[in-house]
A and B are shown apart, each in its own frame.
Chain A
């Protein structure tokens, strides 16, 4: 076969169908939006039950995390995510799923080296770089005295 890696790369690109972007973006918008709307309804409900807005927001987040983990445990979350894509990934529910899924999966290797060690294989980098970014942001705010 007389062809370079570059030529083959071009052939591969032509032969490989792209992800259905229009469908994926629409579903992500609808289902992601729906999850956020549910979150807002929960905040209103908790406020009506007498919580202040900060406490209500925290309680709504906890409720969404609980629902996400529950659906992950019931083997449903991945089926919803297959259609919703970024719609289920971006909200807090996606983060909860990314911790619950490996916890379930690696339980077979024991609670320490399996569940405990592997629980954050997906969420770990998000935490590491999220915290790191917060520190840098904090330093910038401190140095420039923006508040």
Chain B
């Protein structure tokens, strides 16, 4: 049975295994330093579809099919799929997954969705109501731009704090089993808001949420940062990562060089013109599924904390003068099913 530790953390006594995972990306992602990690790259960002929204749905559909293929499973083997994206009403997920016939739970956690879906999928499995579940999310630069910012061809300048929404999708298949890595613990985030109103500085808006969740995890479990090989946030980018380090230091937590960020890994920060870094659900999802999980399977990483961060805002409320509410969910992954970190 899962055990609650402290106020915010759940430790999974029978940790689910992430049996397989798949990633899909497009041209810009393939040109980044992690370009080789993608299972499927389609350089046509329309993915053969007629609209950007259909393209994003197509990405999720491909990612889930590929993950199931890698796990050697059929649609009918999956008890639940937990998915979400950045678009209104989560249409990227619903239209992408509608042909699958798998019981579906739509989630909205903005860019934190990969961690959120892993939290829910792993507790469903641990609780015994599912044998196999899929956690999946996506983002598409073009759908995000038109929903949150300006039309693509509009001639505007991005500020140095702006981040680049990744065109990518990641899907993970979770099961009761013995294939590493395992989800050992989760910390569900609280909604944090320290008054940032600049929608071009999402890293700054989300850093307090990441800091709070990380602090909750260490307080709840009594663990120390030194016990982990890597503590990687979703997509705080340059600005948010430096703020996170500052915020945690104020509370006496020093992550040191264990701290990293998916938004700083996906693109070449010098050459790819992504300003403060990558963002979007697909950024942390693809870095986790395509880069971190394989490194864990190879034994290069043993215990990691994956903290995906999300800005829970809409253009409507920001235009009304509201500040940007944020959240971060933490997933503790280990190559050991028992012992070790817990």
Q: Which residues of A contact B (CB under 8 A)?
A: 1-3, 5, 8-9, 11-12, 15-20, 24, 72-73, 75, 77-78, 80-82, 84-85, 88-89, 94, 97-98, 100-102, 104-106, 108, 122
Residue pair A1, B201 in contact (C-beta under 8 Å)? no
Which of the residues A2, A8, A9, A100 comes within 8 Å of B153, measured between beta carbons?
A: A100
Residue pair A94, B155 in contact (C-beta under 8 Å)? yes
Which of the residues A12, A73, A78 comes within 8 Å of B152, measured between beta carbons?
A: A78
Residue pair B155, A89 in contact (C-beta under 8 Å)? yes
CB neighbours of B151 from chain A (8 A): 101-102, 104-106, 122
Which of the residues B52, B156, B159, B243 comes within 8 Å of A11, measured between beta carbons?
A: B243
Known: A3-B250, A24-B157. 14 other contacts (CB 8 A): A1-B215, A2-B250, A11-B246, A15-B246, A17-B160, A72-B153, A78-B154, A81-B155, A82-B155, A97-B155, A101-B152, A101-B153, A106-B146, A108-B52
Residue pair A1, B157 in contact (C-beta under 8 Å)? no
Residue pair A19, B159 in contact (C-beta under 8 Å)? yes
Residue pair A9, B154 in contact (C-beta under 8 Å)? no
Closest to A13 in B: B204
Residue B333, interface by CB 8 Å = no
Q: A8-B208, A12-B243, A15-B242 are in contact. Are A108 and B50 (CB under 8 A)?
A: yes
CB neighbours of A17 from chain B (8 A): 160-161, 239
Residue pair A77, B155 in contact (C-beta under 8 Å)? yes
CB neighbours of A80 from chain B (8 A): 155
CB neighbours of B251 from chain A (8 A): 1
Q: What is the number of residues of chain B that contact chain A, defined by CB distance less than 8 Å? A: 34
A95 to B211, CA, bound (A): 43
Residue pair A1, B50 in contact (C-beta under 8 Å)? no
CB neighbours of B239 from chain A (8 A): 12, 15-17
Residue pair A8, B155 in contact (C-beta under 8 Å)? no
Q: Which residues of B contact A (CB under 8 A)?
A: 50-53, 146, 150-161, 194-196, 201, 204, 208, 211-212, 215, 239, 242-243, 246-247, 250-251, 273
Closest to A98 in B: B154
A47 to chain B, nearest CB (A): 29
Q: A5-B195, A15-B243, A16-B160 are in contact. Are A105 and B152 (CB under 8 A)?
A: yes
CB neighbours of A122 from chain B (8 A): 150-151, 154
CB neighbours of B242 from chain A (8 A): 15
Q: How many pairs, one residue from A and one from B, have CB atoms within 8 Å of each other in the complex?
A: 102
A97 to B150, CA, bound (A): 12
A67 to B152, CA, bound (A): 18
CB neighbours of B157 from chain A (8 A): 19, 24, 81-82, 85
CB neighbours of B160 from chain A (8 A): 16-20
Residue pair A12, B155 in contact (C-beta under 8 Å)? no
A108 to B49, CA, bound (A): 11
A18 to B159, CA, bound (A): 8
CB neighbours of B159 from chain A (8 A): 19
Q: Chain A CB within 10 Å — which of B150, B156, B195 has the most?
A: B156
A81 to B157, CA, bound (A): 7
Residue pair B201, A97 in contact (C-beta under 8 Å)? no
CB neighbours of A2 from chain B (8 A): 250
A18 to B160, CA, bound (A): 7
Closest to A75 in B: B153
CB neighbours of A108 from chain B (8 A): 50-53
Q: Chain A CB within 10 Å — which of B151, B158, B201, B215 has the most?
A: B151
Q: A1-B212, A105-B146 are in contact. Are A78 and B204 (CB under 8 A)?
A: no
Residue pair A78, B153 in contact (C-beta under 8 Å)? yes
Which of the residues A5, A16, A18, A106 comes within 8 Å of B194, measured between beta carbons?
A: A5
Residue pair A8, B161 in contact (C-beta under 8 Å)? no
A5 to B192, CA, bound (A): 11
Which of the residues B53, B195, B212, B273 comes within 8 Å of A9, measured between beta carbons?
A: B195
Closest to A100 in B: B153
Closest to B215 in A: A1
A120 to chain B, nearest CB (A): 12
